[in-house]
A = this chain, B = another copy of it.
Amino acid sequence: MRAEHLETPAILINRPVFDSNMEKMARLLAPLKVALRPHYKSHKSIDIAHLQVRAGAKGITCAKVAEAEDLALAGIEDILIANQITEKSRIARVAYLAKGCRITVCVDQSQNIRDLEQAAAVEGSTIHCLVEYEVGMGRCGVTTHEAFRDLAMEVMACPHLVFDGVQAYAGQLSHEMDGTRRAEEAQRIETELQSLLADLKKWQIPVKEVSGASTGTVELRKEDTVYTEVQAGSYLFMDATYRQMGLRFENSLTVLATVVSTRPDLVVTDAGVKALGVDQGNPVCPALPGASVNMSEEHSAFTFPGHPFHVGDKIRLIPGHCCTTMNLHDFFYFEEEGKVLNRLPVTSRGKSK
């Protein structure tokens, strides 16, 4: 079946572009000896996670316990939950999961370490831990080397926990549009992490992993990067926000919409904010370059005098944010040259717990 026969809104992923993005990431990381641990949050698809592992990813990063459960049940054996798991009921689920596969979580406070140890002891499992170091997101993480050391030593003292290293995700840089500023700030973080690692070495705390980096900053890594693994997600799809940054990856994900109303200067489609994540900006329509867009829940209205569209036409939109767009859909479609190759579920859609 051809893509234009799909009911809309529908997520289409151009398979050759998707494959090419996957290869580009492998070629980018190969000389750096940095492992790829791609972030599940971008696609929430176990099918894509399997493709990534087959293409060389050492494991998968995710954000939530419910996502980790989906990954484990799908046979992914090395899972990083790049987040603090602080509720007792969830910690129990993590400790149970850790019996069946390798689970790593982030920590940034003592009580949480004690709770994780207790739950793992109950299950007789082992939970790996990264101590989170705050590198500018204004979110989780410790802010001093000494605080890092103290938590790392607490983890090391727990018989059912393993201290693996540092979580240092600089999400605030992912969409820094000024390339010079992005490079400078990424270098500042590398220098700061080198200094942290030097102190940890002095304190005889062995660091195996430094995990972080995103699609927006992975290209800035040099051969001497301190990062050992990269958590990029959006590189497979790209989106309107990332597209402005001049990265090497190309846009593979579009949302197919149907034109439901027109005026001479207006094209109204059936894809609104319930089909297109707008948290990082509005969608762009490549067929209507420069058009301004007015979004509502179930419509996007593009102002473009003299447009060529009629009611019933199909139209492609590049969402402002690929990750929150995938999360709005139950399915996505792989396509090649306009032909539908497969319909696959967004396995963990809506799993925010």
- A299-B89 in contact given A9-B353, A349-B350, A352-B328 (Cβ < 8 Å): no
- A8-B260 in contact given A274-B352, A301-B139 (Cβ < 8 Å): no
Q: Residues on A close to B: CB < 8 A?
A: 7-10, 41, 63-64, 83-84, 86-87, 89-90, 108-109, 111-112, 137-141, 143, 171, 258-261, 263, 266, 268, 270-275, 277-279, 294-299, 301, 311-312, 323-324, 327-330, 349-350, 352-353
Residues of B within 8 A of A277 (CB): 273
Residues of B within 8 A of A112 (CB): 311
Residues of B within 8 A of A296 (CB): 137, 139, 171
Q: Which of B260, B266, B273, B329 contacts A138 (CB 8 A)?
A: B266
Residues of B within 8 A of A352 (CB): 9, 271-272, 274-275, 298, 328-329
Residues of B within 8 A of A298 (CB): 41, 63-64, 83, 352
- A268-B327 in contact given A7-B87, A352-B275, A353-B7 (Cβ < 8 Å): no
Tell me, rounded to whole Å, the shortest Cβ–Cβ distance linking A106 to chain B. 10
- A140-B328 in contact given A297-B41, A311-B86, A350-B349 (Cβ < 8 Å): no
CA distance A273 to B329 in the complex (A): 15
CA distance A350 to B11 in the complex (A): 13
A-B interface, 5 closest residue pairs, ranked by CB to CB distance from nearest: A140-B261, A273-B279, A275-B352, A84-B260, A63-B298
